[in-house]
Amino acid sequence: MRVLIVNTSERTGGAAVAARRLMEALNGHGVKAKMLVRDKETDSLTVVGLKGKWWQQWCFLWERLVIYMYQHCSRKHLFEIDIANAGTDITRLPEFKEADVIHLHWINQGMLSLSGIRKILRSGKPVVWTMHDIWPATAICHLTLDCMQFKTGCHHCRYLPGGGSSNDLSTQIGRRKLGVLSGQSIIFVACSRWLESEARQSALLQNQKVTNIPNPLDTHIYKVTDKLEARRRLHLPADKQVVLFVSQRATNRYKGMDYLTEACRQLAAEHPEMTQRTCVTILGGHSEEVTETLPFQAFPLGYVNDERRIVDVYNAADVFVLPSLSENLPNTIMEAMACGVPCVGFKVGGIPEMIDHQKNGYVAAYRDAEDLARGLHWVLCEADGKALSKAAVSKVNRCYSQQSVALKYTEVYNEAIAQKGYKL
């Protein structure tokens, strides 16, 4: 079986990381998988980059320009919505023609257009689409937060000026999307049970099959190592408790840095002894911009793509915190747990599926900085750290191993092939 995994980027972003890990897992378990990307970042022979950089840039810029105009020349939500009005026709490529299954992942920001997706669906190839966020089930947005319009048909979109209208951009793109998907058989795969439940309620996906399979993780790479050695390599203090926060962009408001800051302030006020023995490590772009707001000593590490160094960062931590306002099945929690680090996060999205409350971490009430502080204190000062660490590793080995995920996807591919009557 030959599978073509399609994703905008090869390595940048959570979806890219998950898609590449899936490709490696499949190739390790008898499936011939390749990855087709717009942004190729390595010399890997199993990853193919789209040709025509000028065309890729034009597609990206044209989509942003149209959104910018609909936003009345405001940048406020410029990268929070996608309309898929421009992209590359991949059905002409040899990699597409030789594949038995087309596996779409995150294909936004000028990678594929709606008309390009229509061509893929009409090619007769079996199609599987992994949802790394809810965009495939909404008209234009990646985060619905508390908006329920996608369940009946998007309109009055909060991401548009004035809250949109009954026939706004989201309504128009929603109709186009419905026209693309109608009458087609696609298997949508959510990475969490939460996203599966949300997608099943979408007006766009009412006649499509939706299931869930978690992302895979290579536990030969992400594993427990010597904490003191990791700190020495990173120049972190050996005598302090380390709180770790990770985000591709630390200033992204949806990742909840404001809540972590407030939680740390409460800890410093209620437990002043923690001020001298606690520090916060921040991994991600713009990390230096958020350190001054913290009451504890902070170490901004910036953006890192060296996997060995990332593993060191996790192993150096005593607790990993992810106070996101919306999450699917975050790779960062999976990675931290594989390295034996207990996790603290809000009760939102797929986070409660990963963190077993007070067994391998702490699930705090949504948007509650006080409970977030309580969870950090519980992990650092009250719980049995060794037991939490052991439970975290066990959860990853049981649920997110490469072998188990590859087997589940192979079953989905076979089902998609049978659905289409496609012959290998």
**Rounded (to 5) percent helix, strand, coil in the chain:** 45, 20, 40
Residue 424: the pLDDT is 65
Q: Which tokens is 102 given? A: 């087309």
pLDDT over threshold 90, residue 181:
yes
Q: Please, are residues 101 and 424 in contact by the beta-carbon 8 Å criterion?
A: no
**Residue 412 DSSP SS3:** helix
Q: What is the mean pLDDT of residues 345-359?
A: 96
pLDDT tens digits, one per residue of 156-168: 999 999 999 999 9
Residues β-bridged to residue 266: none
Instruction: Please state, in angstroms and rounded to a whole number, the distance separating the CA atoms of residues 25 and 91.
Output: 25
Task: With cut-offs at 50, 70 and 90, classify the pLDDT of residue 295.
Answer: very high
| Average pLDDT along the chain | 95
Residues β-bridged to residue 246: 283
Task: With cut-offs at 50, 70 and 90, classify the pLDDT of residue 381.
Answer: very high
Q: Please, are residues 57 and 111 in contact by the beta-carbon 8 Å criterion?
A: no
Q: Which amino acid is at 333?
A: I
Contacts of 211 (CB under 8 A, 6+ apart): 187, 188, 189, 190, 196, 412
Residue 250: the pLDDT is 87
Residue 375: the pLDDT is 98
**Residue 189 DSSP SS3:** strand
Phi, psi of 111 (to 5 degrees): -75, -60
Q: Which amino acid is at 260?
A: L
Q: Which tokens is 136 given? A: 């495939």
Task: With cut-offs at 50, 70 and 90, classify the pLDDT of residue 256.
Answer: very high
Task: With cut-offs at 50, 70 and 90, classify the pLDDT of residue 419.
Answer: confident
Q: Is 153 left (phi over 0), alpha (psi -120 to 50) or beta?
A: left
Q: How many helices (H) and strands (E) does the chain have?
A: 15, 13
pLDDT over threshold 90, residue 423:
no
CA dihedral for 262, 265, 269, 271, sign (positive or negative): positive
pLDDT tens digits, one per residue of 36-46: 999 999 999 99
Chain-centroid distance, C-alpha 150: 20
pLDDT over threshold 90, residue 292:
no
